[in-house]
Structure 1
């Protein structure tokens, strides 16, 4: 085995790890935004957790965040604008990444 093969394998492993961490961060962000939306809707703790789960699951339907934003806009009505939802999603992404880093010990 050559050094080139080792470097290629290491690069592939890093790429896979980075892609998994990005997926997990986006799912965590969606959960946090779901909890925020549940609070706006006045849901109790169990209902809020279930609602946040539904937001995470909704993101699996289509690539990107537009499907999540559409769901939240429909659910929240006049409680939040699409711009406010986008801002909350942007605000929650670094929080989600920090939580994951703390959990994984990185």
Structure 2
């Protein structure tokens, strides 16, 4: 029974680590996305905009609320950004964020 308990604990630890990693990658992606949007719409207060986006992202675990905010911000700036463009950028930045986290963890010896 002990080996079964050890296996269960190991699986739980793996699940927790994977979940934490996905949260970190998503948070990095959202930060990169906010910085990209701020540059695209000409926001000078990038840090404030990043905080706005992060607040929306936390409140809305799915990306729908985030996409709505970004589209509204583009529109307010007189720019057009359809959902497909935003999702494509989110996808691209998800990989960028994952690679950055992996690099950082490798440097730290994880």
Q: Is TM more than 0.5 here?
A: yes
**2:4 is aligned with 1:4:** yes
**2:46 is aligned with 1:39:** no
Corresponding residue of 2:93: 92
TM normalised by structure 1 equals: 0.90
Corresponding residue of 1:15: 15
Mapped partners of 1:96, 1:67: distance in 2: 20
Structure 1, unaligned runs of 5 or more: none
* Runs of 4+ with >3 A deviation: none
Secondary structure in structure 2 of the residue aligned to 1:56: helix
User: CA-to-partner distance for each residue in 1:43-79, whole Å, 9 max, x for gaps?
Assistant: 23xx112212221221111221001000101111134
Once the 2 structures are TM-superposed, how far is the Cα of residue 10 of structure 1 from its aligned partner? 0.7
Corresponding residue of 2:82: 81
Structure 2, unaligned runs of 5 or more: none
Secondary structure in structure 1 of the residue aligned to 2:58: coil
Kindly tell me the number of residue pairs found equivalent between the two proteins: 104
Mapped partners of 2:37, 2:88: distance in 1: 13
Corresponding residue of 2:105: 104
Secondary structure in structure 1 of the residue aligned to 2:59: coil
Once the 2 structures are TM-superposed, how far is the Cα of residue 94 of structure 1 from its aligned partner? 0.5
Corresponding residue of 1:71: 69
